[in-house]
Amino acid sequence: MAVILQSLPQEAALTKIEYEGPRIALYSRNPTYLMQNSQLVSNMVNTIKKRIVIRTDEGIRKPQPESTKIIEDAIPKEVGVSGTFFDPVLGEAVVFVKKPWMLAQVGEEFDNLELAEKTGWKVRVRKAPQDLSTISAMYRVLSETASDRTRFFREVGDKIFRDPLIESAEASLFTLGGFAEVGRSCMMLSTPESRVLLDCGINPSAKDSLAALPRFDVAGVSTEEIDAVVLTHAHMDHTGFLPALFKYGYRGPVYCTEPTLLLMSLLQRDYVARAGSASLYSERDIDNALMHTITLTSGIVTDISPDVKLVLYNAGHILGSTSVHLHIGNGDHNLVYTGDFKFGRTLSLENASWNFPRVETMIIESTYGGKEDILQRPEEAEASLAEIISSAISSGGHVLLPVPAVGISQEIILVIDRFIKQGRIPTQAKVLVEKKVSEATSIHEAYPEFLSRPLREQVLSSEGTPFGSSDRFKTVDSITLDSEPSIILAPSSMLLGGPSIKYLEQIAGNPNSRLVMVSYQALETPGRAIQEGSKKLTINGREVELLCKVDRLDGFASHSNYEQLMQYLFRLRPKLRRVLVNHGERAKAQNLASSINKMHKIQTQHPLVQEAIKLL
């Protein structure tokens, strides 16, 4: 603080310096001075080696209704303001507009610095999605918990920026879930100073709780002893247990990207709604997790404990997905946990990042780690899908694609939209998109910076949406199908429940209809059984015979295939010392570990759940 105070002139009008979780917040009555003289802040960051953010002093912030009017008056009507949301803890106003590209054309008439002076709030502008409901719900929780979040941020900062108590450099990893299996991804990094949880998922297809939930009983720590949770992405097998962690006493920070926060909240609420009284937690627990989540920007070094620094890198799996780079001690060890990643560009996302400055140990997924897992090329999968749709629609049938709400579903929407524009499928085909998929797609529209470059430019330069721009797309909510042919996108992808099961029950008896499996099917799921040739399915206690044709298209996979996994490791510099293989059926994890060891001459392990591995 002394360094900061000495570095800033009186014009900065500094009123206080506070911890804001892993950041140091400078509150000012003249924030535009600091924003215009950003080099001052950069110099301070370089000196103290901590993240610094500029915040407006609460005393200069105008009331939210007045600020909303000032902001909306400053933005030309044709830009189309859809909503303005405030975060009183960060002093930010986020404005969602339909035509963000027009703001660059109005020049000095729209100036964020000027708005900061007029309102006392830092103003951010985002593209307005088709549906603002999930975003609105998030800001409601953030606003209602403002005083608790302020206190929480200070407590987190006190813990992070304290002096280390122990000088020795040690690190161990405890495998709590997701090793030699797919589901309940969870592990704990333990050092003399810290307990950091990496992911916190459930396995929805497991038959009993010992296999469905992370094995915290073997970690030897209570929830109060965990210092931080880092999430790679929003899927339930990586975040589904997080609200239960808060239900049972955890009160520390959760780190992830902003899209991950919104998407996991959407998926967790859907789980509670579907599970009812059998749910592991309540909406209140989800809100509690949301309140304790600190969103981070990829590529920025962040202190998360006295001896652990975190950097998030794009993983290319789903919107906001990341690989986690942990810098332990004073350069003593560097650990990268890939999470689920796609080492290959798709229509919606950029290729996974691979250029890490230092890595000694890597934890890598093996969903498609078998040598036989050479998946279709995307163009082959697209051609097959176009043929399947054309055949089914022309004969009066339906095409059901069971998809996860987030990930492959958005990729498929883009593909079908392109089919329609190119005239590759019959004109009578309507596309029914389940409500939960549409809600997740709206979050993609609001965060174009996380999309592939061509798609990002398309989102930012058009009032409409590239995700189903044709009027043949229709959002539905578990409807009864009529005789008109249709293409249906519905979760769950593994037919474990949800709308996809209801639609399958309706099309199962029609030989002209098609069931198209485009996603990974876990062991012991109905989807896996059908993929392996089963022609019968039990739905609501009734056995249903599948007369519809079943197709499998694996070219849309959001995971890396075997070749991509090996290419990813080959690309890494400097050479790894050790690789731990996780997130794959046991045989696939073993195969990938063996291949890595033989081809790259690296020490490789494929641990099971409930193992402790010494890293340092």
* Nearest residue to 320 (alpha-carbon basis) of 253, 405, 260: 260
Whole-angstrom distance, CA of residue 446 vs CA of residue 469: 16
Report all structural domains of the chain as residue ranges with CATH numbers, in order of start.
2-57 (3.30.300.230), 64-143 (3.30.300.20), 169-371+559-614 (3.60.15.10), 378-552 (3.40.50.10890)
430-454: average pLDDT: 96
pLDDT at 248: 95
pLDDT digits (tens, 9 = 90+) for 38-74: 888 888 888 888 899 999 999 999 999 999 999 999 9
Whole-angstrom distance, CA of residue 433 vs CA of residue 519: 16
pLDDT digits (tens, 9 = 90+) for 286-326: 999 999 999 999 999 999 999 999 999 999 999 999 999 99
Whole-angstrom distance, CA of residue 611 vs CA of residue 173: 8
Q: Which residues pair with 412 in a beta bridge?
A: none
- Mean pLDDT over all residues of the chain? 93
pLDDT digits (tens, 9 = 90+) for 103-120: 865 544 566 888 999 999
Q: Is the separation of the CB atoms in 596 and 602 below 8 Å?
A: yes
pLDDT at 110: 61
pLDDT digits (tens, 9 = 90+) for 459-475: 998 888 899 888 899 99
In the 8-state DSSP scheme, what is residue 548? S
Kindly report the backbone phi and psi dihedral angles of residue 544, in degrees, each rounded to the nearest multiple of 5, phi listed first.
-115, 130
Rounded to 5°, angle at Cα 378 from 372 and 383? 110
Kindly report the backbone phi and psi dihedral angles of residue 247, in degrees, each rounded to the nearest multiple of 5, phi listed first.
-60, -35
pLDDT at residue 348 tops 80: yes
| DSSP character string of 181-248 | SSS--EEEEE-SS-EEEE-----TT-SSHHHHS--GGGTT--GGG--EEE-S--SHHHHTTHHHHHHT
pLDDT digits (tens, 9 = 90+) for 75-101: 999 999 999 999 999 999 999 999 988
447 Cβ contact partners less than 8 Å away, ≥ 6 residues apart: 126, 258, 259, 319, 320
151-172: average pLDDT: 91
Q: Is the separation of the CB atoms in 494 and 527 below 8 Å?
A: yes
Whole-angstrom distance, CA of residue 390 vs CA of residue 368: 30
| DSSP character string of 119-168 | HSSEEEEEE--S--HHHHHHHHHHHHTHHHHHHHHHHHHHHHSSPPS---
pLDDT digits (tens, 9 = 90+) for 181-224: 999 999 999 999 999 999 999 998 888 888 999 999 888 889 99
pLDDT at 34: 86
pLDDT digits (tens, 9 = 90+) for 539-564: 878 899 999 999 999 999 999 999 99
pLDDT at 105: 56
pLDDT at 108: 47
Q: Which residues pair with 92 in a beta bridge?
A: 87, 122
183 conformational bin, left if phi > 0, alpha if psi -120 to 50, beta if neither: left
pLDDT at 254: 98
pLDDT at 221: 87
Q: 125-129, 230-234, 465-469: which has the minimum mean pLDDT?
A: 465-469
Whole-angstrom distance, CA of residue 249 vs CA of residue 36: 43
Distances (CA, A) of 501 to 508, 522, 542: 10, 16, 12
User: Distance of alpha carbon 132 from its chain centroid, rounded?
Assistant: 18
pLDDT at residue 574 tops 80: no
Q: Report the b/e string of 51-71 with b at 16+ CB within 10 A.
A: bbebbbbeebbeebeebbebb
pLDDT digits (tens, 9 = 90+) for 481-495: 998 999 999 999 999
In angstroms, how far apart are the furthest CA atoms of the chain? 78
pLDDT at residue 504 tops 60: yes
First to last CA, the chain: 34
pLDDT at 106: 52
pLDDT at 7: 80
Q: 154-158, 458-462, 588-592: which has the minimum mean pLDDT?
A: 458-462
User: Helices 435-446 & 258-275, crossing angle to 10 degrees?
Assistant: 170
pLDDT at 310: 97
% the chain with pLDDT above 90: 83
Give me the amino acid identity at 372.
Answer: E
pLDDT at 304: 97
